[in-house]
Amino acid sequence: MPAPDNTTTSDAAYRSNLNKLAAILVAGAKANSSAVGTSGAAAPDAAYGVALCRGDFTGDACARGLADALRSAINDCELHRNVTLYYDRHQLRFSDVDFLSGYSNEPEWVENNTNFVGTSVAAAFQGRVAGLLRTLTDAAASRPGRYAAGEAWSMEIDRPVYGLVQCTRDMTTQLCNSCLGGVLSEMPRRMNTSMEGGRIIGVRCVVRYELDAFFDIDNMTLHLDMPNGATKNKAWIWALGVALAGAAVCVSCFLLFKELKKRRRRGPYKRARSELQKFSMAIQNVITLWRLEEGSSGFSLYDFSEIKAATDNFSGENMLGQGGFGSVYKGELPNGLEIAAKRLAASSGQGLLELKNEIQLVAKLQHKNLVKLLGCCIQGDQEKIIVYEYMPNKSLDTFIFEAKRQAVLSWPKRLHIIDGICQGLLYLHEHSTVCVVHRDLKASNILLDSDMNAKISDFGIARIFYSNATQSNTTRIVGTIGYIAPEYALDGVCSVKSDVFSFGVLVLEIISGKKTGGYYRFDDEKHYCLIAYAWQLWRDGRWHELADPSCLLGDDDGHCSTMLRRCTQVALLCVQEDADDRPAMDEVLRMLSNDNMTLPEPKQAAYFNVRPGAAAAAADAPPSCNITITMITLPR
């Protein structure tokens, strides 16, 4: 009688406990903004977790954000054993090792704004920031919610600086003080507080400051050393002066300024000032750009009423898809033109800067394999909409991951799609006016037109490289688990080879019809990511087992089989552990288009020997893509 499969049992038990833990964390955070929980008796099956929502992001909104994050973390690449997810307004960590009892704040994430306040005022400004955060720390530790936010006037730069601190609610006053105090004491060493903003985010406590109000101002907000009379009016005039770039903008700001004065006389003027600052930032960073771009051929500024009518008031029947940044709706303009309107959620992590980033890029980048941007629409702080050409066949994932539609994609069609994606990436990397790294290449971001031509979409987190720079280091890791290159996920090194890695993963998905984070068994070994499974098949000469059976229908002369083998080999070359071993996109195109070209033999693929966390590493666990992940999606 064979020995029982203990690993499978353990995995099933851990998954069950992780799902129970997710329910505990979501329910607890919905009620109290933070939650700590466990499920299961002991390792390796037990799951431990902590979740925290920002103090102004509470109730159902908090619960939805955490539920989406947990669902993605649990399902996208199965059975991670040690995961930390940091978003702009919520965060969580879960593990199969008990990390709760010590109240550790690790792992911590440090991020600085890139703008310097100026050498002459730096020291005084640093003192102002430190004083504000210390006062907020005392307030947060003494409050039941362990959250405090406030503003302090900085005479050095003649405007307020905003700060926020928070601990998980289960911490005592002493523990919260200790956690935040430890972060503050490390700030001079770990962060340059001469910059206009920054944050240190940890599992148990968070510290942040900015020059713009980034939280909701209410009656619990602290107002420290705020001026009155002429000095305050001077600040408003300064804020308006930044925004007033033209006559039309001047009229809008003047009307808003009058409304602010009315609200001030009524008493609760803080909220109005926050709205003015948001409006000023929007004008400064976005509207000027849009008005310049409006003169470009094919780019339009739409009225909100126009888009609302075109989409039948954003009806559910017209919804094409929904993601973390918002929903996409089909619409038809009065002239008969069909559009796809991406309506960014008001609470979306893709804010005005990401919106501006996408407009800057897509409005200027023109290629047959990039989605065409038609225009955009903004109404106040809530409505931000990007308008694209309509793609009748929606996105690639609706074909390759749906059993009923996989058969539609014959191998020639799949090869045509792969070639289109390759052509689009080559243009971004080498042939456009600037080098662009997409950073979120995946099946749902590949749109298909009526002729099944592939078009790359969603440039909200793309990165531009100028001059001769070929890579950069970043403290802001963005993208989708399963597609992120190892050097980017672990060390923050971003380059065109990051996109090459994602392309390789995507090609494996197109060939196989399997998701990158699925569960796959090779003989007696288990694999939790497609890369490891594909490499194992390739190494054993069984690459044909990877292919979706519908790819080989009607392949009487064996040509499809030959190209499938070549594409699998190219994909594995693209997902090599070392970025230097991956081909550039021009090499990839040559490899795919030249049947007579001899291809190098791929080395062992990335993530093949990574084991799932500390506890599992001690055991004789099979290879998988379970890695300790800290996923950061923090918009500025």
Tokens 């600052």 -> residue? 277
506-542 residue pLDDT tens: 999 999 999 987 777 777 676 668 998 999 999 999 9
Q: Count structural domains, the chain.
A: 5
118 and 33 within one domain? no
Whether 617 maps to a domain, the answer reads: no
Q: How far apart are the first and last CA of the chain?
A: 59
- C-alpha to C-alpha distances, 423 to 348, 455, 512, 566, nearest whole angstrom: 31, 10, 21, 17
Mean pLDDT confidence for 600-605? 93
Whether 627 maps to a domain, the answer reads: no
490 and 598 within one domain? yes
Mean pLDDT confidence for 260-276? 48
Residue 424 pLDDT exceeds 90: yes
Numbered residues of the known binding site for ATP: 342
Whether 634 maps to a domain, the answer reads: no
Whether 90 maps to a domain, the answer reads: yes
Report the C-alpha gap between 389 and 262 in whole angstroms.
43
557 and 433 within one domain? yes
**What pLDDT, on a 0 to 100 scale, did the predictor assign at position 472?**
57
In the three-class reduction of DSSP (H, G, I as helix; E, B as strand; rest coil), residue 478 is classed as coil
Numbered residues of the known binding site: 342
266 and 377 within one domain? no
389-404 residue pLDDT tens: 999 998 999 999 888 8
273 and 215 within one domain? no
155-192 residue pLDDT tens: 878 789 999 999 999 999 999 999 999 999 888 888 88
Whether 563 maps to a domain, the answer reads: yes
Mean pLDDT confidence for 18-24? 92
Whether 584 maps to a domain, the answer reads: yes
Question: Of 294, 327, 349, which one is at a domain's C-terminal end?
Answer: 294
**What pLDDT, on a 0 to 100 scale, did the predictor assign at position 611?**
41
- C-alpha to C-alpha distances, 359 to 88, 202, 341, nearest whole angstrom: 22, 33, 14
Q: Which of 1, 60, 54 minimizes the C-alpha distance to 26? A: 60
Whether 509 maps to a domain, the answer reads: yes
Report the C-alpha gap between 51 and 343 in whole angstroms.
28
313-349 residue pLDDT tens: 999 899 987 765 678 899 999 999 999 998 876 655 4
Structure tokens at 80: 């991670």
Residue 382 pLDDT exceeds 80: no
Question: Of 196, 224, 252, which one is at a domain's C-terminal end?
Answer: 224
Residue 621 pLDDT exceeds 50: no
**What pLDDT, on a 0 to 100 scale, did the predictor assign at position 324?**
53
Percent of the chain with pLDDT over 70: 74
Among residues 440, 458, 499, 548, which one is catalytic?
A: 440
The parent domain of residue 139 ranges over 109-224
Tokens 């431990």 -> residue? 48
Question: Of 95, 128, 161, which one is at a domain's C-terminal end?
Answer: 95
**What pLDDT, on a 0 to 100 scale, did the predictor assign at position 227?**
64
Mean pLDDT confidence for 540-555? 83
Amino acid at 544: H
Tokens 């060493």 -> residue? 189
Higher per-residue confidence, 376 vs 272: 376
37-50 residue pLDDT tens: 999 887 778 999 99
136 and 59 within one domain? no
Mean pLDDT confidence for 437-454? 93
Locate the DSSP E strands across 16-72.
34-39, 47-53
**What pLDDT, on a 0 to 100 scale, did the predictor assign at position 365?**
78
Structure tokens at 100: 């709760």
359 and 277 within one domain? no
Mean pLDDT confidence for 358-367? 71
Q: Which residues are registered as beta bridge partners of 195?
A: 116
Number of H helices, E strands in the chain: 19, 25
Mean pLDDT confidence for 212-216? 89
Mean pLDDT of the chain: 79
Burial of residue 76 (number of CB atoms within 10 Å: 0-12, 13-18, 19+): middle
546 and 517 within one domain? yes
**Under a CB-based contact definition with an 8 Å cutoff, are residues 374 and 363 in contact?**
no
570 and 489 within one domain? yes
Residue 592 pLDDT exceeds 90: yes
CATH number at residue 365: 3.30.200.20
233 and 219 within one domain? no
Strand 82-87 and strand 629-633: the pairing is: parallel
321 and 282 within one domain? no
Could you count the other beta carbons within 10 Å of the beta carbon of residue 289? 15
493 and 585 within one domain? yes
CATH number at residue 28: 3.30.430.20
With cut-offs at 50, 70 and 90, classify the pLDDT of residue 556: low
Residue 617 pLDDT exceeds 60: no
Percent of the chain with pLDDT over 90: 38
- C-alpha to C-alpha distances, 106 to 134, 190, 206, 470, nearest whole angstrom: 21, 14, 11, 32
Residue 210 pLDDT exceeds 60: yes
440 is catalytic: yes
Whether 616 maps to a domain, the answer reads: no
Q: Please report the DSSP string for 389-408 in residue order.
A: E--TT-BTHHHHT-HHHHTT
